Amino acid sequence: MKGLQRISGIALVMLLGAVSPALAETGLTFVYADAGEPSTIDPAKANINWELTVTRNVYDRLVDFDLSDPSRLLPALATEWKQDGKTWTFKLRDGVKFHNGATFDATDVKATLDRLLKIGQGQSYLVDDIESVTVVDPLTVKIETKAPTVFLASNLSRIEMLSHEDIAKHGDDLAQAWFNDHANGTGPYEFVSWTRGAQIELKRNDKWWGKFPDKPFDRVIDRFVTDGANRARGVEGGEFDLANFVPLDEALRISSESGFHLVEGNNLWAWPAIYLNMDLAPTNNKDFRNALVKAFDYNAMLQSYQGKAVTPRGPVPSWFPGSPEKDEPEIKTDLAAAKAALAASGISNAKMKCSVPAGFPEFRFAATVLQSSAAQLGVTVEIEELPFVEAITTIKTDKSNCFVLGNANLSPTDATKFFAAHYLKGGFYNSGKFFDPTLQDLIAKLPTVSDPAEREKLLKQAADIVVNAHYIIWTARPKTVVPEPDRIGGYRIDPAEYINARFWELHSNS
Amino acid sequence: MSVSAASPRRLKAQPVGVLLPLALVVLAILVAFTLVPGLIAPHNPIALAMSDRLKPPSLLHPFGTDEGGRDVFSRVVFGARYSLGVAIAIVFVSALFGVLYGALSGMAGGRLDNLMMRIVDLFFGFPALVLALAIAASMGRGLGSVALSLSLIWWPGYARLVRGEVLRLRERPHVEAARALGVSRFVILLRHIIPFVVQEVNVRITTDIGYALVAVTALSFLGLGANSPTPEWGLLIRDSRPYFGSAWWYLVFPGAMIMMTATASSIIGDALASRRPG
Amino acid sequence: MVGFLLRRLVWGLLVLLSVAVITFILSRVVPADPAAFLAGQNASEATVQRIRVEHGLDRPLPAQFVSYMAGLARGDLGESIRTRRSVSADLAQYLPATLELLFVSFVFYLAISFFLAALAARRPGGAVDGVIRLLTMVGTGIPVFWLGMTLQFVFFYKLHWLPLDARFPIRESAPPVVTGFLLVDSLLAGSLTAFFGSLQHLALPAATIVINLLAVGTRLTRAALIREQDRLYVRTARGKGLSPRRILFKHMLRNALSPILTATTMQFGYMISWVILVEVIFDWPGIGLYAYQSFQVFDYSPVIALALVSTAGFVIINLAMDLIYPIIDPRVQSVGA
């Protein structure tokens, strides 16, 4: 079957070459197996991997960053930017066009950001410190923030730019219905079609302002393959060129086969972290939580990751710009200390329930490790595996004591948004309802500080607060490991993403 | 869903004859698994043993180990009481309810019988899996809700079967004679009809256990049934999926177990069927 | 006759209605909140509440129920929260995939089942019969989801003969949608490669279903055929010198058809319900997968829709069988209960 495909592919290219010599197409198709089907491809609402797969490649953003050094921002739709207190000024790239031919300019930036903040979903939380957006001239935009923040440009590296015309003319609801399943961006790939239940098809935008590698893919098919085993087997058997979230054992096994190699990188902050419910007994007792943290078998996690993980010392990974991790004390299993903490808590024969989002074997495994570790303290842990929203609702409504979740931070340099979502009052992922007024203040203050060393100190203080409260059990911080076929090149792990593919960097090796 | 095979006396029980002892052996093994798993399983089914992670079958671990280093064979042994136990419970509960319902309906006759059978038709038409989804959604997931939904699906079969039999037997000469003599309907039911019905039902129960087992494991596979770390067979298969390329034994052996159990129940049911009169 | 049809139709509608009511109630008595899913992660509580109101999810249960039933009467199956489209639109897309799979499976199942049964019935108790009986017995016990995964492993992974999943070869363009049945649409578009591509992708899922059904079906068909063989008319025909094949097809089949069809009806009803398992394993974009994925995010309109479709299918098939019986088997006079 593969041979046949290759022959027909070559035949197609030759035919095209004979018929229209002006075409610079390669005729190459890339098949990506994603872990789910988008519910929407509206960049203002997309926030799960498989939705971002589409939006990241079809739209552009004002700013990009160097994947190997995230603190180094790179120009994208904006070529220059500077901060002056609460005012940021962005100069835009000239001559950029949307897929439908419309010109990109400052009005698009304003319309996009206004819309995003109004809708309030998706990645809007990354830029919710924006007060107002003003068009200075077609290639200059001024953004006022509520308080000075050094991170705005960096966070804008995650906000896709839409066309103000689309927003205006496709319905009164800010064109929400239209953007759900249509896309018109300036990006490297153009949206072609969406076959529900099966795949989304993209085609290369050869008028893109950016640079494609040699032998880029003209056609990208983003397939929805919900089962990890199917994704693994599909990559191994050649049906898919690349897949998202391939189970680790499969990834390692496949990469060691001939025809495949391993791509490794850092992007996960914890995989997973266990959130303890601060409002429900027995986890509302600090000593009890401490006991769990100390009893947890971190080695078991390391063994399950087969050398590709480390035990975190706090919320922020060491490779993140300005991370306090190296100064944090090591976290390791200490059963004696755990028992002492349990005794101090005065709780005995405790029972607790853990809700675990289904679909990620690592989450389930971590919960199992917690179960067996807690059993050594005489604590019974019951595990319930539920779909994501149900799982997080269960703990938020105090029907469970713990919640298991993998973490990643979508901002390349801003840790405060991550803290806000996970450790501040009202944060969506703050499932255990942690609250510390000092932490609230620290996080509010951090972005206003212009000295990086000072910010690092504040971040350490913030991390210490979370660590000392024993709110989270950080079970492991693994590297992301992806098997890439030798015939494909260019795949890199994005440190500020949940594992996605930048199709515009991929190329064929054959 | 089961349909019992009618076997005229002419059919020789040959293949069944060869397999029956095997099936009975399997049955004995399963009973042992269910009642005394601790005596049979060589290892702890729940304790983690990371250094033995995902090891292939060996003398020490006949079914290999899983992602936590746990012995798959031990997990299968302990799982019997969950998978098979729930299946048996479902079949017995539905049989009990269905038999009573069907008997009453058949004896009552007339309009009441008609109405009661219409209700049975209603349950018959209800798609099993959707009901399971709906019940899991409202009651919460777990073997309890699985048991409830499957029982609701299974009892109509027994009701229909028994009612049919009761109607048939009612017309028999000795029953008519008893009626003519003034014996109460209830006594007739008890002494003349139920004993014959029970034989039919027994056949069905035996084969149904196999089907129910497959259904229970299917629902666990979809995530509606047991929770970790319960070594329920369907859950084992679900857990095994991410490791399948690296650990085929994790998928194959629990599946083979389900298959063996269901086949055994089928064979025994068949044997019972060919043994009953007319 | 008309009276009978009418009564059955009314009854069928009643069944559908009860299914809708039961599923609706069960799905709404739920602890979690579809609005949270719709708002997406990272949305503030205010946003979630706004969305809750927008979709009428904050209204009391009876009010939601009434408006849902009213919608049903109009043929409006509601909106899917997950796909953000009307369920009817989704069904129009997903249902043909399931129907195509079921239909192809059933054709093969009927043919193979009959063939095997005839083979076995030829000489009951013989070697061939024994083997077939053994196979059906073993087949009864195979869990369909396990079978699917095993077939994938053997035929895709090890042998590379058949594709892993999906309906159509990934890198090729599917024929334009006319009926939603890829086999038909391929032929309509005049593309034999598309036709064979679809057939290739149908192979494993259909095989899974067929094997699963064969076990029970063959046993029943065999039993029915054997029973027929016993009959006087067959022995008479044999005595008259008619070839066994002629006897089989011209005479026995007609008479045995009745119980065979009963069994098939039940199988079909059973399959509509369990097709979710096959679709999940093979990423088959049918109504089972659609309902299952929606169920996972509390989007229940699709689940109710699946319930209605399965029940409707079951009712229709039962009705059809009731109509066909008297035609096939004149001994069956009146139909009912």
Spatial separation of the C-alpha atoms in residues A89 and A134, rounded to whole Å: 10
Percent of chain C at pLDDT above 70? 85
Q: Which segment, A84-93, B42-51, B53-62, B232-241, is predicted with the most confidence on average?
A: A84-93
**What mean pLDDT is predicted for residues A176-187?**
94
Contact B242 A365 (CB under 8 A): no
pLDDT at B39 over 90: no
Q: Is B177 exposed, middle or buried (0-12, 13-18, 19+ CB in 10 A)?
A: exposed
Is B223 in contact with A358 (Cβ distance < 8 A)? yes
Helices A248-255, A228-237: crossing angle, 10 deg rounding: 10
* pLDDT beyond 80 at A489: yes
Task: Compare C216 and A114 and report the one with higher pLDDT.
Answer: A114
pLDDT above 50: residue B21: yes
Per CB-CB distance under 8 Å, the chain C contacts of A394 are 31-32
Q: What percent of chain A has pLDDT over 70?
A: 95
Lowest mean pLDDT among A205-219, B37-51, B70-84, C215-229: C215-229
Which position has the higher pLDDT, B30 or C227? B30
Amino acid identity for residue A30 in this structure:
F
CB-based contact B221:B237 (threshold 8 Å)? yes
Interfacial B residues in 17-46 facing A (CB < 8 Å): 46
Candidate from B50, B242, B246 with C-beta closest to A303: B50
- Closest Cβ–Cβ partner in B51, B141, B245 for A232: B245
Asked whether the beta carbons of residue B245 and residue A253 sit closer than 8 angstroms, the reply is yes
Q: Does B183 touch chain A (CB under 8 A)?
A: no
Which subunits have 3 or more CB–CB pairs within 8 Å of chain B? A, C
In angstroms, what separates the C-alpha of B181 from chain C's closest C-alpha?
A: 31
Q: What does each C-alpha distance from C281 to A385, C30, C96, C109 come to in angstroms?
A: 19, 27, 18, 20
| Smallest Cα distance from B52 to chain A, Å | 10
pLDDT for the residue C38: 73
Supply φ then ψ for residue A140, to 5 degrees: -135, 135
pLDDT at A85: 93
Q: Which fold has domain C87-288?
A: MetI-like fold (1.10.3720)
pLDDT score at C20? 81
Q: How confident is the model at residue C126 (pLDDT cuts 50, 70, 90)?
A: confident
For residue B48, which residues of chain A lie inside 8 Å, CB to CB?
A: 297, 300, 368-369, 372
Contacts of A374 (CB under 8 A, 6+ apart): A292, A295, A352, A380, A381
Nearest to B242 among A250, A382, A385 (CB): A250
* CA-based nearest residue in chain B for residue A375: B47
Q: Closest Cα to residue A363, out of A423, A478, A473, A273?
A: A273
Q: Does A39 touch chain C (CB under 8 A)?
A: yes
pLDDT at C331: 59
Cα C158 to its chain centre, rounded Å, is 29
pLDDT in tens, B224-270: 888 878 899 999 999 998 888 888 899 999 999 999 999 898 888 88
User: What is residue B12's predicted lDDT score, i.e. its pLDDT?
Assistant: 45
Question: Residue B215: closest CA among chain C residues belongs to which residue?
Answer: C143
**Chain C CB within 8 Å of residue A237 CB:** yes
pLDDT in tens, A63-78: 999 999 999 999 999 9
CATH ID of A60-172, from 1.10.3720.10, 3.40.190.10, 3.80.10.10, 3.40.50.300: 3.40.190.10
Residue A277 has pLDDT above 70, yes or no: yes
Q: Which is more confident, A339 or C294?
A: A339
Q: Which residues in A205-217 are b (16+ Cβ under 10 Å) and which e?
A: beebbeebeeebb
The answer to whether B160 and B3 are in contact (CB under 8 A) is no
> Averaged over B206-231, what is the pLDDT?
88
Residues of chain C in contact with residue A388, where contact means CB-CB under 8 angstroms, are: 297
pLDDT in tens, C197-229: 999 999 999 999 988 888 777 777 777 777 777
- pLDDT value for B109: 77
| Domains of chain B by residue range | 18-38+60-275
Per-residue pLDDT at C332: 53
Q: Give burial (CB, 10 Å; 0-12/13-18/19+) of A444.
A: middle
Q: In chain C, where does DSSP find H-type helix? A: 2-28, 34-39, 45-54, 61-74, 87-122, 127-141, 144-152, 182-188, 192-229, 232-240, 244-246, 253-281, 287-296, 301-328
Q: Does C292 touch chain A (CB under 8 A)?
A: no
* Residue pLDDT, tens place only, A45-63: 998 889 999 999 999 999 9
Mark C187-206 as b/e (b = at least 16 C-beta within 10 Å): beeebeebbebbeebbbbbb
- With bands split at pLDDT 50, 70 and 90, how would you rate the model's confidence at A15? very low
Q: What is the reported pLDDT for A478?
A: 95
Chain C interface mutation, best of A47, A121, A193, A400, highest count of C Cβ atoms under 10 Å: A121
Contact B48 A233 (CB under 8 A): no
Residues of A with Cβ-Cβ distance to B64 under 8 angstroms:
none
The CATH code for residues A22-41+187-263+483-508 is 3.40.190.10
Chain A residues in contact with B246 (beta carbon < 8 A): 249-250, 253
pLDDT of residue C250: 67
A158 touches chain C (CB under 8 A): no
Decide yes or no: CATH 3.10.105.10 for domain A268-478: yes
Q: Kindly list the residues from chain B whose CB atom is less than 8 angstroms away from the CB atom of residue C9.
A: none
C312 touches chain B (CB under 8 A): no
* Nearest beta carbon to residue A237 from set C42, C157, C166: C157
pLDDT tens readout for residues B168-201: 777 777 777 777 777 777 777 677 777 778 888 8
Structure tokens at A59: 């739209």
Percent of chain A with pLDDT over 90: 83
**Residue of A2, A172, A219, A389 to mutate, interface with C, max C Cβ within 10 Å:** A389
How far apart, in whole angstroms, are the C-alpha atoms of residue A475 and residue A484?
A: 27
Of C39, C283, C298, the CB nearest to A230: C283
Higher pLDDT, C228 or A159: A159
Asked if the Cβ–Cβ distance from B5 to C219 is below 8 Å, we say yes
The CA distance from A345 to the nearest CA of chain C, in Å, is 32
Contacts of B263 in chain C (CB under 8 A): 137-138, 140-141
Q: What is the pLDDT of residue A207?
A: 93
Q: Which residues of A157-191 are buried (b: 16+ CB within 10 A; e: fewer)?
A: bbbbbbbbbbbeebeeebbbebbbbebbbbbbbbb
Q: What is the pLDDT of residues B140-155, one digit of tens each?
A: 788 888 999 899 888 9
Q: Where in chain A is the domain with CATH 3.40.190.10?
A: 22-41+187-263+483-508, 60-172
Query: Is the CB of residue C32 less than 8 Å away from at least one CB of chain A?
Result: yes
Evaluate if residue A437 carries a pLDDT over 50. yes
Query: Is pLDDT at C30 greater than 70 in this prediction?
Result: no
Which pLDDT band holds residue C333 (cuts at 50, 70, 90)?
Answer: very low
> B138 and C29: CB-CB below 8 Å?
yes
Which of B15, B122, B210 faces C134 most closely, judged by CB atoms?
B15
Q: CATH fold of B18-38+60-275, please? A: MetI-like fold (1.10.3720)
Enumerate residues 90 to 119 of chain B having a beta carbon within 8 A of any beta carbon in chain C: 114, 117-118
Predicted confidence at residue A428, as pLDDT, reads 87
Sign of CA dihedral A209, A214, A220, A222: negative
pLDDT bucket at A212, cuts 50 / 70 / 90: very high
Alpha-carbon distances of C269 from C40, C224, C266, C300, C307, rounded to whole Å: 37, 20, 5, 22, 12
Please report all neighbours of A, defined by 3+ CB atom pairs within 8 A. B, C
C-facing residues of A in 83-142 (CB < 8 A) are: 119-125
Distances from the Cα of A288 to the Cα of A283, A331, B261, C62, angstroms:
6, 17, 45, 44
Mean pLDDT value across residues B129-135: 80
